[in-house]
Amino acid sequence: MKKLEQVYEGKAKKVFATDDPELFIVDYKDDATAFNGEKKGTIAGKGVINNRVTNYLMGLLEKEGVPTHFVKELSERETLVKKVSIVPLEVIIRNISAGSFAKRYGVKEGIVFDEPTIEFSYKNDDLGDPLINSYHALALKLATKEEIETIKKYAFAVNDFLKKFMKGIGIDLVDFKLEFGRLSDGTIVLADEISPDTCRFWDSKTGEKLDKDRFRRDLGNVEGAYQEIMRRMIGE
Ligand code: TMP
Ligand code: ASP
C-alpha cells in the first residue's frame, strides 16, 4: 500500500490518499486542542495510544455488528481505513451528566441518567460546532432521514457495548462523541476515532478522570491517564 498525498489535516489527525481509490491512511498526531481550537498543546504519545485504542475498539465493534471504516493498523500511528465522506454531524451519547450538558442545563456533573441521551452538533468550525436537531440536519441536507435513523441505531449500539466493556475494566463511560461516514456506495459506517480524546472515562472506584478533560481543565498527568486507559484496555 503506497502512501500518497495528504488530503486532509484535522486537529488530531492527518489523512493521506493511497494507490487504492477506496482506501485512505490516517496518521495520528500528538497535538491536542480544546474549545474549538482556542487552547492548544501536545500530549506526548497520544497519537500512538489513540491509534491503538481506536483500532482495538473498532475491531470489537465490528464483531458486535457495527460496521466501521477500520481496515488494518499499519504502524504505531498509521491505520488503513476505508475512504468515506464524513457526515458533518458530531453524534454525542451521554450516560452521566458532565461537560456542556451540565453547563447548559445548570446541573452538577455525575448525575447518572436512567436512559442514555443522544444529541447532534453540526460539524462546522466557523460556527463553533453548534447543537442541532435532526429536523435542522434534514433541512440543511446534512443527512437523509434513513441515514439519521441508521446513525442513531449504531450510536446506541456502540454505547451498549462500550459501557459494558469499560465497566469490566473499572471505568464508567460518562459520554462520548462519534462521527460517521458514507462509503462510495452510500453505506453508513462508523469513522473517526474512539479514544480518551473523544470520550469521558471516570475510574469507577475513585472517580478520577482518565480522558482529555485532564488537558481541557489543566488537571495534570494527562499522559498518565491516556496510558492507564490503554493499559487497562489492551494490557500495554
Ligand atoms: P461536551 O460535554 O463538551 O459536549 O462533550 C461531550 C463528549 O464529546 C465528551 O466525551 C467529549 C467529546 N467531544 C469531542 O470528542 N469533540 C468535541 O469537539 C467536543 C466538544 C466534545
Ligand atoms: N477538539 C475540540 C476542539 O479543539 C474540542 C474538544 O475536544 O474539547 O475544538
Q: How far is the CA of 73 from the centre of ligand 2 (A)?
A: 25
C-alpha cell at 11: 486537529
Residues within a 6 A CB radius of ligand 1? 92, 98-101, 129, 175-177, 198-200
Cα distance between residue 79 and residue 55, in whole Å: 8
Is the entire prediction scored with pTM above 0.95? yes
Task: Give pLDDT tens digits along the chain (236 positions).
Answer: 899 999 999 999 999 999 999 999 999 999 999 999 999 999 999 999 999 999 999 999 999 999 999 999 999 999 999 999 999 999 999 999 999 999 999 999 999 999 999 999 999 999 999 999 999 999 999 999 999 999 999 999 999 999 999 999 999 999 999 999 999 999 999 999 999 999 999 999 999 999 999 999 999 999 999 999 999 999 97
Domains in the chain: ranges and CATH: 3-82 (3.30.200.20), 85-221 (3.30.470.20)
